[in-house]
Amino acid sequence: MNKTQKSDIQLFYAKVIDRAAKLGFLLLLLTFSVYISGILTPYVPLEHLSQYWGVSAAKYLEATQIQPDWGWVAKLHHGDMLNFFPITILAGVAIFGYLCLVYKFFRNREIILGMIVIFQIMVLILAASGVLKIGGH
Amino acid sequence: MAERIKNLGEGAKGQWSLPLRKTPPSPLPQSLMGFNSAGEVRAKGPDFTSTISGLGGGCGGRAGTPYKKGPWPSPHIILALMVVWWFWGGVGVAWGATGPQAAAGVTPWWVWALILLGFSFLVGIVSLLGGMGGGTLFVSIIGGFLPFHLDFVRCASLLVALCGALSAGPGLLRYGMGDLRLSLPAALMTSSGAIFGALVGLKLSAQTVQTALGLTILGIVFIIVRAKKLEYPEVPTADPLSILLRIGGVYLDRATKEEVPWQVHRTPVSLLLFLLIGIMAGVFGIGAGWANVTVLNLIMGAPIKVAVGTSKLIICLTNTSAAWIYLHSGAVLLVILVPSIIGMMLGSWAGVYVLVRIAPIRLRYIVIALLLFAGIRSLLKGLGIWN
């Protein structure tokens, strides 16, 4: 690989994560405004939140009957659940960026770094899949 | 074999290093925050190496450099007043005379949201100036002083630090301060460790995490006080693994306008340390940028600015994997999370303004004081002495 190619990969990755992060942030501002304005009825009313924020995540889920993992997808018509969409984008920016890197590294015949990126994607997808979760204490 | 490695090393220097820039990179758009703009500031003003280097006072900072003065009061006074306001005007009022748990039930949600917004704003400023991800400050202070359960605080902290790193990352890459190749193996280790750490952390009781967090933060304070970061560590020979991965290159130091070649060593042992850092990050819900910088700079021998920049890239991956575990475990409360993210991003922008007006050495004292206070609070809260 020559010097320019290396620089190009860095710049390409910078561009990808920059745009994706800004998109996620703007959407988060939008959906949070929808949530607190009450345009869409929240699944858990804002006034009730103070009852839950002092308890563990496991007890919160139990009390509110919220399904963890990807359960929010089926409840996007609720103002609070809508916010999980941009949060997912923000938490997925790195995965998207690395997917783009795989192509770049293999095209430049950098097999070892390409394999590291693939392993990294597998780790991130494992985390994002919801297979690994914990019920809390 | 040794001869072959030597040849490879020479090959790495000759073929794979970054191009030597004859002109400084073009200015970044204002919309990019944090280190991007900070890079421009550094080019014009004093060298903030010691400021952004995890607060080590051993290099770079020019104590005698005059700082830019504006029509505003001293930034130290502004920052101190904001901290005081936040504690006594915000948290104090919200607590009333009853303490955080009792106040949680009577204080409206939006008051807490505003407190979080204000605090995250401060964390955004301080973490930018301090070269930290902000997660450590966030978890220790929010977890210690506000009524929220640590599960929610840790999840918010991970996403807050992630957003900060995502904002700073592109600019760092463009300036060559963050090195993608150096970050790849390190991030693989930290993100793997972070998954395990998050699973363990969610299983531990809040008291156990508070106690361990308090001890860890006091350890961080010790490292910050004692460790002397090296601006350009001496690396006589790159190790075989780093040669194989083609880690190394040249970056343009905008403070000195010099092109600095660099390479790393002790890669295998450093990767093991990154695994441990990832576990710690997952357990406590922090980015552990201070630990990344220490390993990259003091053990691997990366120049301090490359270490700081690369640390941000590593945090992106560490926090992504840990955050997913927390998200899937239901540790999300939007009134905690969203104001914190907004505050952090606004604080990062404001941090650039403060950066040109504050002396690194004084900032170091502010961060040490905050961490010391938060660490003692976490420890005492975990032990049930100060609830």
| Residue B176: predicted pLDDT | 73
Q: How far is A107 from chain B (nearest CA, A)?
A: 16
Least confident span in B11-25, B105-119, B136-150, B182-196:
B11-25
Mean pLDDT across the stretch B150-159?
Answer: 90
Closest Cβ–Cβ partner in A10, A90, A117 for B162: A90
CB B23: neighbour CB atoms within 10 A?
A: 6
Residue closest to B223 by CA, chosen among B162, B121, B293:
B293
DSSP code, position B29: P
Residue of higher predicted confidence among B172 and B162 = B162
CB B89: neighbour CB atoms within 10 A?
A: 14
Residue of higher predicted confidence among B355 and B135 = B135
| Residue B241: predicted pLDDT | 93
Chain A, chain B: beta-carbon pairs less than 8 Å apart: 194
Chain B environment of A18 (Cβ under 8 Å): 32, 166, 169-170
Most B CBs within 10 A among A120, A122, A129, hence the mutation to make, goes to A120
| Residue B279: predicted pLDDT | 93
Tokens of B197: 């750490």
How does B272-304 read in b/e, with b if 16+ C-beta sit within 10 Å? Answer: ebbbbbbbbbbbbbbbbbbbbbbbbbbbbbbbb
Mean pLDDT across the stretch A22-43?
Answer: 90
| Residue B74: predicted pLDDT | 61
| Residue B380: predicted pLDDT | 87
pLDDT tens by residue, A73-122: 888 889 889 999 999 999 999 999 999 999 888 988 889 999 999 999 99
Least confident span in A123-137, B306-320, B332-346:
A123-137
Closest Cβ–Cβ partner in B148, B205, B326 for A137: B205
Mean pLDDT across the stretch A117-137?
Answer: 81
Chain A environment of B187 (Cβ under 8 Å): 120
| Residue B249: predicted pLDDT | 85
Percent of chain A with pLDDT over 90: 32
Residue type, B381: K
Instruction: For chain A, positions 5-64, list CB contacts with chain B under 8 A.
Output: 6-7, 9-11, 13-15, 17-18, 21-22, 25, 28-29, 32, 35-36, 46-47, 49-58, 60-61
Strand partners, B258: B253
- Please tell me if residue B325 touches chain A, with a CB cutoff of 8 Å: yes
Residue type, B15: Q
At residue B158, does pLDDT exceed 70? yes
pLDDT tens by residue, B83-112: 655 555 555 555 544 455 555 556 788 888
Collapsed DSSP state (helix, strand, coil) of residue B275: helix
Q: Is the pTM of this model over 0.90?
A: no
| pLDDT classification of B353: cutoffs 50, 70, 90 | low
HEC states along B265-300?
Answer: CCHHHHHHHHHHHHHHHHHHCCCCHHHHHHHHHHHC
Contact between B347 and B123 (Cβ < 8 Å): yes
Q: How far is A63 from chain B (nearest CA, A)?
A: 12
Cβ separation of A14 and B174 shorter than 8 Å?
A: yes
* H/E segment holding residue B250: strand B249-253
Collapsed DSSP state (helix, strand, coil) of residue B66: coil
| pLDDT classification of B303: cutoffs 50, 70, 90 | confident
| Residue B195: predicted pLDDT | 92
Residue of higher predicted confidence among B175 and B76 = B175
pLDDT tens by residue, B331-345: 889 999 999 988 887
Residue type, B314: I
pLDDT tens by residue, B2-31: 444 444 444 333 333 333 434 444 443 333
At residue B256, does pLDDT exceed 80? no
B322 phi-psi bin (left φ>0, alpha ψ -120 to 50, beta other) = alpha
ipTM of the complex: 0.89
Contact between A68 and A97 (Cβ < 8 Å): no
Q: Report the distance separating Cα A90 and Cα B116, nearest Å.
A: 20
Identify the closest residue of chain B to A11 by CA–CA distance: B174
| Residue B60: predicted pLDDT | 35
Q: Report the distance separating Cα B35 and Cα B52, nearest Å.
A: 9
